[in-house]
Amino acid sequence: MIERTPILNAVTYLIMILGLILILGPFWMIFTASTQSLQQVSSVPFNMMPGGDFLKNVDAAWDRANLGPALFNSLITSLLVMVGKIVVAALSAFAIVYFKSPLRHVFFWMVFLTLMLPLEVRVIPTYNIAADVFEPVRWIINAVTGIELSLQWNLLNSYSGLVLPLIATATGTFLYRQFYMTLPDELAEAAKMDGARPLRFFIDILLPLSRTNMLALATIMFVYAWNQYLWPKLMTTDASYQTAMVAMRSLVPSINALPEWNVSMAGALIIMLPPLIVVAVLQRWFVRGLVSTDK
């Protein structure tokens, strides 16, 4: 605006700075605590200046939460979930938008309804099916033909188990559908006239055009996958498949021991860093992905 409002500007800056303290304060406390010794971190009132024990604390947290393998597992599963979601979303939106099958409405609604079935309300049966994926298949075959099959596939304590149940994506499908809808009809017409088949059109025209979309989706899905907690916690009993987010649980100081918050915070800092970097560095894409999934 053109008017001069020096007092109001000062108030605005004051509020924004207070907001900044509110947002960055916890980050600063996590960081300073992770650099202090046990004695410093236990001091009351809390000392806001960093100490010199950062590496020592990281080392202790690394051992306690078994962070090496945990971070590796998190990275692998997050990347797989991210790629899986993009592929699945691009494919199913293509099926919905570019074909006139009577079943597409049914399919669209089936995908939509998954939004109302969050993991918390179907934990046990999802766990059961991960333990025995072919249960429905055996049940159906048995009901139809009466044959008892002994087909089995157990997903517990495996990467497929950490990844597959998280790949289905309603938001990703909507995002891609929205994107295909904005493309002009002439594009498909021209491609058809040039003799392109659906698969060629999809690979050579749609996918390259959706690069922006893909990047936006990739950022939000990576953050989503890295921050998963309940599912990996339930289905990994074998410590070698634990993800970093689950390992966080072992950083909570136990009641009977000294509260080593410096070690806890050092571990927490490392575990929360990757998604934070994605959001900070790729903020433009992250925000775009987030805002455009609400349509």
**Token pair of 175 as six digits:** 């995002």
Choice between 241 and 275, CB closer to another protein: 275
CB nearer to another protein: give 69 or 198: 198
CB of 291 to another protein, least distance (A): 5
Residue 102 CA to residue 289 CA, distance in Å, equals 30
Q: How far is the CB of 149 from another protein (least distance, A)?
A: 16
Give the SS3 label for residue 257: coil
For residue 80, count other CB atoms closer than 10 A to its CB.
Answer: 18
Q: How is residue 295 written in tokens? A: 């349509």
Q: Which is nearer to another protein, 172 or 241 (CB)?
A: 172
Q: What are phi and psi of 165, to 5 degrees?
A: -65, -10
CB of 17 to another protein, least distance (A): 8
Between residues 60 and 251, which has the closer beta carbon with respect to another protein?
251
DSSP string, 15-55: HHHHHHHHHHHHHHHHHHHHHS-HHHHT-SSPP-S--S-HH
For another protein, give the closer residue by CB, 166 or 241.
166
Closest distance of CB 184 from another protein, Å: 10
Cβ 48 to another protein shortest distance, Å: 9
Looking at beta carbons only, is 78 or 241 nearer to another protein? Answer: 78
CA-based nearest residue to 175, from 281, 53, 85, 56: 85
C-alpha 276: how far from chain center:
12
The CB density around residue 239, as the number of other CB atoms within 10 Å, is 13
Cis ω for the linkage preceding 232 (within 30 of 0): no
CB under 8 Å, gap of 24 or more: what pairs does 142-146 form?
A: none
Half-sphere exposure of residue 106: CA atoms within 13 angstroms, side-chain side: 3
Least gap, CB of 79 to another protein (angstroms): 17
Distance CA 213, CA 171 (A): 12
